[in-house]
Structure 1
Amino acid sequence: MIRATRRELLAGSTLAAFGTALPLAAHAQSPAVTRPDLFIGTGGHGHTFPGATLPFGMVQLSPDTNNHGWDACSGYHQSDRSIMGFSHTHLSGTGIGDMLDVLLVPTRKPLKLVAGPRETPSDGYRQRYTDEHAEPGYYRVKLESGVLAELTATERTGLHRYTFAKGPGHILIDLTHCKQETAEEAIRIEDASLAIGEDGLLTGSRQVFRWAEGRRIHFAMQLSRKPDRVQFYGDGDTPVAGGGRGVTGHRLKVALFFDDAGAAPILVKTGISAVDVAGARGALAEAPGWTFDAACAAAQRIWAKELDMVRVAGGTPAQRTIMASALYHTLMGPTLFSDRDGRYVGLDQQVHTLPATERAYSAYSLWDTYRALHPLMTLVRPDMAERFVHDLIRQTQQSPYGPPTWPLQGFETGCMNGWHSVAVLAEAHAKGIKADYAAAWPNIRRRAFDPQYKDSLATLGRDHYMRLGYIPADKIKESVSRTQEYAYNDHAMALLADAIGKTDDAALLRKRSGNWRNVIDPKIGFARPRFADGSWWAAYDPIQLGHMPQPRWRDYTEANGWQATFLNQHDIYGLIAHFGGDAAYDAKIDSFFNAPSTLPANAPPDIAGLVGQYAHGNEPGHHVAYLYAYVGTPWKTQAMVRRLCTEMYKDDPDGVIGNDDCGQMSAWFILSSFGFYPVDPTTGIYVFGSPLFDSGEMRVGAGKTLRVRAIGNAPDRPYVQSVRWNGKPWTRNWIAHTDLIQGGELEFTMGAKPSRFGTRAEDRPPSAPR
């Protein structure tokens, strides 16, 4: 890859589609749109991909450099140096992989039916590459066989343009390609088929058993030129006699041969559907004709409008690129899941049809995204936030497990713990988003009160939780984190119950939301594993992941005792009292950020980006820097947030600490660099931090604009001296969503030393009482 060329492009200003170019000096005066770098997060463990998609689109058409191992979760890693081909679906920033559907391999090399290893690409159909370029809605790369590959997308259709050198070439479609944990892992694919119809369309289907076990994908593919020969391959790469017009089995492929592939560019468009081939055929209507450039220009216009929602000035050129790239990554999902005719597969595995005004979505990484991604959407895209809420209510009604945890492609993966969709619903209600919340209540209530209600992996131990008030560490893994997260879900469910008039249920849930106390031992000041007989783990070490030596049995979820101690987001003043008051809790936060940054050997790679024992690369601690505001030392929040904004993000492939987690890491940066963050999204308030940029604009609801100014801002001036809202002095160290969504100007005056701003008890942020 030619990284220098990309950096030179980024050092300048934007493409025509992304606004008028401005000299660097102008950026310090007026907020402007900066071009994102789609390669940020594609190295390290960011797990993002650089291919072509639309905001929240169903198709993510991107190169696959690998399909096994942890760093292949998105199908792409910038260190791999060879491309297997281009597939149509990808996950952005996740810690588990799936998707990578319908792989196309354009090449002039001899036909090979296996990809081959990364170490020796020539052993298979892998190809080394150069001249890689990516921008929103468009991807381009030169493959070693001499093929120039270009990609763009509509919502449900991927468009390819392959320019071959003169002479023969072929395109291989590999339906055996999908995510594996190891190269040796058996890939389970069922009910696969490939066929060419009388209309010349190549169609196919497969059922994949990966993370979303049993999901189905269907496609319809049209080519601008008819192949000279077609060869289908069945299980075991057995060629179908006489070429044939189709094949069924489990591991299928088809090769499309062109005697003179270079005579003219070969264009391919592929519609996809989770419902059936008819839905995939219908998707092709989004891309009529063979005007690749027009489709690409349309995609870029859509992205230009979306990326214009946030503008900043000041900071460094790298920080402005990080901001634009973060905004791009927050618009990757959840992803569209309903066909053009409104059909989709529900969590009950049935096909449903939506009215024309509604859409279904997939890939909700709710354990991560309820914290900042969904709150960001309520600000900059309240229309999408409303769509997501309607969709989550439907999914709650249809799921055998009740409120979703991590729904993917019509299946509940049960990944992580808790059912944080209720937090998204409670937040949306608190911020005035209209929806039929009562329609979700019957299944929410079953999850809340029925210990016999069907469990997923995410909801284990509810019977213990209801009976004992905590989950015993000798019965259920991740017990300490589960207890606290179930308590937060109780809090969110109580808010929903109140909203629909279920006051008795709300009172019970509000009382139960205090169960976090039962796993935080005030004698030692830490979240601590507790056993069924009521005793605590005696040989406690907050660095360790739990009391059992087995790496799979941990007492915390992607955390240790240090990090789990600060999980409570909803009863912060109760937690402060539990620790002995403001001074004791302030000292506890200090010790968290100042502890040695050591981890046990069995720590997962998710625990990354350490400042003391704080791990910015993982979500459980994302609110902790803001907790100082609740004990009257907000200047410590200001200093730490500024440090995290500048140290944890880079304009580099390895520029995201940990996984981006479907935009959560990016959303944290956007909100924090604007100077505020939702510690508990369900309260509808934002706690002030330290704005990174000199000025910024954020397009909020109903066409209004929120402007943020940081007067006297500089790298060595992170401390807030005073705040004005719409020109009037503002003493509170927080602001409500109902204020920000109206638009206006939030003005911070910054200084080099801490001030007394926001330290009075009456100016501290509110927290939900029990």
Structure 2
Amino acid sequence: MVQLSPDTDVERWATCSGYHRDDDSIQGFSHTHLSGTGIGDMLDVLVVPTTGPVQLLPGPLADPDQGYRQRFSDEQALPGDYRVTLESGVRAELTVTERTGWHRYTFPQGAGHLLIDLSHLVADRPGARPLIDEASLALDADGTLTGGRRVHRWAKGRRIYFALQVSRPPDRVVLYGDDDVEQPAGATAVEGKRLKAVLHYDDAGAAPLLVRCALSGVDVAGARANLAAEASHWDFDRVRQAARTQWAQTLDCIRVEGGSEDQRTILSSALYHALLAPTLFSDVDGRYVGLDRQVHTLPQGEAAYSTYSLWDTYRAVHPLLTLIAPDRARSLVSDLIRQTQQSAYGPPVWPLQGVETGTMIGWHAVPVLAEAMAKGIVADYAAAWPAIARRSFDFSTADLANSRGRALYDQLGYIPADKVEESVSRTQEYAYDDWAASHIARAAGAEAEARRLVQRSGNWRGVIDPAIGFARPRFADGGWWTPYDPIQLGHMPRPDWRDYTEANGWQATFLNQHDIYGLIAHLGGDAVFEAKLDALFSAPSTLPANAPPDIAGLVGQYAHGNEPDQHAPYLYAYVGAPWKTQAMVRRLCTEMYHNAPHGIIGNDDCGQMSAWFVFSALGLYPVDPVEAAYVFGSPLFDRAQVALGGDRTLVIEARNNAPDHPYVQSVLWRGRPWSRAWIAHAELMRGGTLSFTMGPRPNLDFGRALADRPPSFGKAA
């Protein structure tokens, strides 16, 4: 629940997470953060340890001397452990338990103070005042500072509460209300919108000052209970060691040998990033706020979660969890079923701390559920079906931005570009959600609805023009947009009207994940499709002026820095040319990821970019997670050992591997020859050794036969 971290700025798109490595000053340390998203929020309960006169505003990034922000040095970061020295001379150390943030501040000799800034959060736009409409602070009789706020930034109406204790009682506490008005001496509570508290210490340097702060999405009582349960002592080192140990054990699920030192670091970092979200959102007593904005209590042993970046993470993060952390995957699936039942909109889209943000298109909680079911993760999937059915078939229900055009999609077989924006991408992504939903329908015994969903999952054809071989905007009268240019984003003269979601015609042509053989046939067969893929990766890397920054990491017109076509390098396997997949995946692993602050080519989006690397470095990828199969690529390491849960282990060997040996010559599975260019999840979860023999030149015969190509749409080639 707590992601205690430093904040450097709140005004720029580059600091959606609150932190940017190139900034040279720190505002303070807040308790909640997003990882690699394209929209900012959170940054709750900022703590600023400093000396000198009290400053109540952070000041501009360009001039750290104006406010309470401070230059810094000697910054160190490890999983579960952060340390930095501030220019005031304060040495700051941070660690966490599940629901509490722990701080240790070593002040220089003399006076010092802690500022608690409850008005701090990501600005709505540069220079805008934060959108907080109610907040409270109270100093309880036992010295605990409690409070909360309601925020209307990204997650509109999100509530967060806290309970904070310090290891030494302050010499005095001053509360500040709106407009930084100092409250009367001795005041113990204040309400308003922009609230702050300052804890003064006349001799702050006498001993290290510890802070422990618990959060709750329910109420102050929940925060107090979380604090009591997880902070029964003041031993900072014990908490830090426990956090580091837990992360070390978690990251130990994948061990590798070979590759370069940088590549091994990149893998560990990618695994860490892939495990940062979803985040815990239930209190120790099992209470949490659902997407209906009501307080619920969980069954014993269950947990509620937040921060599901589902448009991104259904592709590789959740499939990675089903492989390396099936128990966590089961817990997340049970939570998503509850959220599907509780939300007025049905299956979640981008839920953040009890609020459906509705960000991006489609309702991609459904693929996560269908994938987990296909992989044998036990849950009550049928319980989610009524809400999924409403989202799929009841066009009288309210549409979030993510699901506009559903009725037209159902009636016409596509979404017309002159009626709804992002129509091409919407049509294809709704089709994928239909494919996933058909599996849930079957589990619920709704056979007729399942057949309808399977049929409708072919609606992607409505926006792929076989005459030109591209995804193309189509109008309500059935006509296509002309003149067509695949690099353009929209047919309308308005710069904000796009026919694709964070993509263009090139990238959207390969958006299909579930009916790949249907797409191949639609575009003219194997040879035409292979040539089209070649053209994708070799086209000029030009983009129109109105392209969003998300379209990044271009190889030709393939955009590795964004999600829509991240499976495209693996599509060569479906036309019997997996050696081209092997070459391109190896290239992407080495060119798009680096052991550096700017080491990921695009937004990590709660771990999706990182999970792509983890899978691809192991030598396989889930092109269609619902198919429960992995397409082979090119293993980056000589040997990888993957803990599968229980006592099962998967070993992946790459014999004769080298930077100039990206091509698979042959494969053994459990000691027997394996001619297929893919492997089923159920097979892999048995454990055993998957052995690749690599070479400098392609083996054109491996994976070429129809019988050896990956399955798609529930059937073989």
Match of 2:435 in 1: 491
Q: Deviations over 1:5-44 (max 9, x none)?
A: xxxxxxxxxxxxxxxxxxxxxxxxxxxxxxxxxxxxxxxx
* In 1: Cα distance, 2:428 partner to 2:318 partner: 21
Q: 1:640 aligns with which of 573, 584, 600?
A: 584
The answer to whether the Cα contact below 8 Å between 1:81 and 1:129 also exists between their aligned partners in 2 is yes
Residue 141 (str. 1) matches residue 84 (str. 2): yes
User: What is the one-letter code of the residue matched to 1:332?
Assistant: L
Match runs of 1:320-335 below 5 Å: 320-335=264-279
Q: 1:654 aligns with which of 582, 595, 598?
A: 598
Structure 1 counterpart SS, 2:445: coil
* In 1: Cα distance, 2:570 partner to 2:445 partner: 33
Q: 1:715 aligns with which of 653, 656, 659?
A: 659
* In 1: Cα distance, 2:439 partner to 2:709 partner: 22
Residue 170 (str. 1) matches residue 146 (str. 2): no
Match runs of 1:80-119 below 5 Å: 80-119=23-62
1:742 Cα shift?
1.5
* In 2: Cα distance, 1:520 partner to 1:507 partner: 22
Match runs of 1:63-212 below 5 Å: 63-212=6-155
1:769 Cα shift?
5.2
Q: 2:197 aligns with which of 254, 271, 274?
A: 254
Q: Deviations over 1:148-174 (max 9, x none)?
A: 000000000000000000000010000
* In 2: Cα distance, 1:282 partner to 1:600 partner: 53
Q: Deviations over 1:126-153 (max 9, x none)?
A: 0000000011101000000000000000
Q: Deviations over 1:76-104 (max 9, x none)?
A: 00111100000000001111110000000
User: What is the one-letter code of the residue matched to 1:706?
Assistant: L
The answer to whether the Cα contact below 8 Å between 2:52 and 2:111 also exists between their aligned partners in 1 is no
User: What is the one-letter code of the residue matched to 2:704?
Assistant: T
The answer to whether the Cα contact below 8 Å between 1:216 and 1:274 also exists between their aligned partners in 2 is yes
Q: 1:380 aligns with which of 324, 330, 333?
A: 324
1:674 Cα shift?
0.5
* In 2: Cα distance, 1:459 partner to 1:566 partner: 21
Residue 228 (str. 1) matches residue 171 (str. 2): yes
Q: 2:705 aligns with which of 752, 760, 764?
A: 760
* In 1: Cα distance, 2:133 partner to 2:572 partner: 53
Q: TM-score, normalised by structure 2?
A: 0.99
Match runs of 1:338-737 below 5 Å: 338-737=282-681
1:182 Cα shift?
2.7
User: What is the one-letter code of the residue matched to 2:405?
Assistant: G
Instruction: Give the superposed CA RMSD.
Output: 0.8
1:243 Cα shift?
4.1
* In 1: Cα distance, 2:371 partner to 2:442 partner: 13
The answer to whether the Cα contact below 8 Å between 2:367 and 2:626 also exists between their aligned partners in 1 is yes
* In 1: Cα distance, 2:624 partner to 2:170 partner: 57
Structure 1 counterpart SS, 2:395: coil
* In 1: Cα distance, 2:419 partner to 2:126 partner: 34
* In 2: Cα distance, 1:227 partner to 1:392 partner: 44
* In 1: Cα distance, 2:436 partner to 2:714 partner: 12
1:186 Cα shift?
2.5
User: What is the one-letter code of the residue matched to 1:728?
Assistant: R
Structure 2 counterpart SS, 1:486: helix
* In 1: Cα distance, 2:30 partner to 2:52 partner: 19
* In 1: Cα distance, 2:484 partner to 2:398 partner: 33
* In 2: Cα distance, 1:699 partner to 1:661 partner: 25
Bigger relative CO (Cα 8 Å, ≥ 6 apart): 1
Structure 2 counterpart SS, 1:702: coil
* In 1: Cα distance, 2:494 partner to 2:117 partner: 39
The answer to whether the Cα contact below 8 Å between 1:82 and 1:129 also exists between their aligned partners in 2 is yes
1:501 Cα shift?
2.1
1:288 Cα shift?
1.4
* In 2: Cα distance, 1:217 partner to 1:449 partner: 35
* In 1: Cα distance, 2:503 partner to 2:454 partner: 26
User: What is the one-letter code of the residue matched to 2:343?
Assistant: S
* In 1: Cα distance, 2:671 partner to 2:650 partner: 13
* In 1: Cα distance, 2:327 partner to 2:578 partner: 33
1:181 Cα shift?
3.9
The answer to whether the Cα contact below 8 Å between 1:116 and 1:125 also exists between their aligned partners in 2 is yes
The answer to whether the Cα contact below 8 Å between 1:69 and 1:181 also exists between their aligned partners in 2 is no
Structure 1 counterpart SS, 2:666: strand
The answer to whether the Cα contact below 8 Å between 2:124 and 2:130 also exists between their aligned partners in 1 is no
Q: TM-score, normalised by structure 1?
A: 0.92
The answer to whether the Cα contact below 8 Å between 1:112 and 1:124 also exists between their aligned partners in 2 is yes
Residue 217 (str. 1) matches residue 160 (str. 2): yes
The answer to whether the Cα contact below 8 Å between 1:701 and 1:742 also exists between their aligned partners in 2 is no
User: What is the one-letter code of the residue matched to 2:681?
Assistant: H
Structure 1 counterpart SS, 2:160: strand
Q: Deviations over 1:574-629 (max 9, x none)?
A: 00000110000000000000000011111111000000000000001110000000
The answer to whether the Cα contact below 8 Å between 1:233 and 1:240 also exists between their aligned partners in 2 is yes
User: What is the one-letter code of the residue matched to 1:60?
Assistant: Q
Match of 1:20 in 2: none
The answer to whether the Cα contact below 8 Å between 1:70 and 1:181 also exists between their aligned partners in 2 is no
User: What is the one-letter code of the residue matched to 1:450?
Assistant: D
The answer to whether the Cα contact below 8 Å between 1:405 and 1:421 also exists between their aligned partners in 2 is yes
The answer to whether the Cα contact below 8 Å between 2:552 and 2:601 also exists between their aligned partners in 1 is yes
Deviates more, 1:495-504 or 1:507-516: 495-504
The answer to whether the Cα contact below 8 Å between 2:253 and 2:643 also exists between their aligned partners in 1 is yes
Q: 2:693 aligns with which of 735, 749, 753?
A: 749
Structure 2 counterpart SS, 1:239: coil
Match of 2:2 in 1: 59
Structure 1 counterpart SS, 2:200: strand
The answer to whether the Cα contact below 8 Å between 2:634 and 2:662 also exists between their aligned partners in 1 is yes
1:213 Cα shift?
0.3
1:183 Cα shift?
3.0
The answer to whether the Cα contact below 8 Å between 1:464 and 1:470 also exists between their aligned partners in 2 is yes
Q: Deviations over 1:353-409 (max 9, x none)?
A: 001210000000000000000000000000000001100000000000001111111
* In 2: Cα distance, 1:96 partner to 1:703 partner: 40
* In 1: Cα distance, 2:681 partner to 2:106 partner: 50
Structure 1 counterpart SS, 2:197: strand
Structure 2 counterpart SS, 1:651: coil
* In 1: Cα distance, 2:73 partner to 2:220 partner: 35
1:258 Cα shift?
0.4
* In 1: Cα distance, 2:430 partner to 2:655 partner: 42
Q: Deviations over 1:458-498 (max 9, x none)?
A: 11110111111111111111000000000001100111112
* In 1: Cα distance, 2:132 partner to 2:602 partner: 30
- After the TM superposition, which segments of 4 or more aligned residues of structure 1 sit over 6 Å from their partners? none
| Structure 1: gaps spanning 5 or more residues | 1-57
Pairs aligned (count): 713
Structure 1 counterpart SS, 2:564: helix
The answer to whether the Cα contact below 8 Å between 1:148 and 1:163 also exists between their aligned partners in 2 is yes
